[in-house]
Amino acid sequence: MTLAVPDAVTLAPPDGVVTAARVVTGSAVLEPGWISVSRGTITGIGEGGPAAGPVAGSSLDLGDATLVPGFVDIHVHGGGGAGYTEASEELALRARDAHLARGTTTSMASLVTDGPERLLAGVRMLRGLVASGAIRGIHLEGPWLSPARAGAHDRALLRAPDPGELDALLAAGELPTLQNAISMVTIAPELPGAIAAIERLVAAGVSVAVGHTDADYARVRRAIDAGATVATHLFNAMRPLHHREPGPILALLEDDRVSVELIADGTHLHPDLAAWAAGLAGADRAMLVTDAMGAAACGDGEYRLGALDVEVSDGVARVAGTETIAGSTATMDALFRGWVEHAVGAGVHRGVRHGDRGRGRGGGAAVGAALRAAVRMASVNPARAMGWGDVGDLAVGKRMDAVVLDADLGVTGVIRAAR
Known catalytic residues are: 291
Number of H helices, E strands in the chain: 11, 24
Least Cα distance to 294 among 330, 337, 335, 336 occurs for 330
Strand partners, 61: 19
The number of beta carbons lying within 10 Å of the beta carbon of residue 196 is: 13
Strand ranges, E, within 206-265: 207-210, 230-231, 259-262
Contact assessment for residue 379 and residue 71, using Cβ atoms and an 8 Å cutoff: yes
Residue 227 burial (CB < 10 Å; 0-12/13-18/19+)?
middle
Order of strands across the sheet that contains 16-20: 2-3, 58-61, 16-20, 33-38, 41-47
Contact assessment for residue 31 and residue 86, using Cβ atoms and an 8 Å cutoff: no
Rounded distance between C-alpha atoms, residue 341 and residue 332, angstroms: 14
Rounded distance between C-alpha atoms, residue 125 and residue 138, angstroms: 10
The number of beta carbons lying within 10 Å of the beta carbon of residue 176 is: 6
Rounded distance between C-alpha atoms, residue 154 and residue 188, angstroms: 15
Rounded distance between C-alpha atoms, residue 167 and residue 165, angstroms: 5
Rounded distance between C-alpha atoms, residue 197 and residue 308, angstroms: 27
Query: At residue 298, what is the residue type?
Result: C
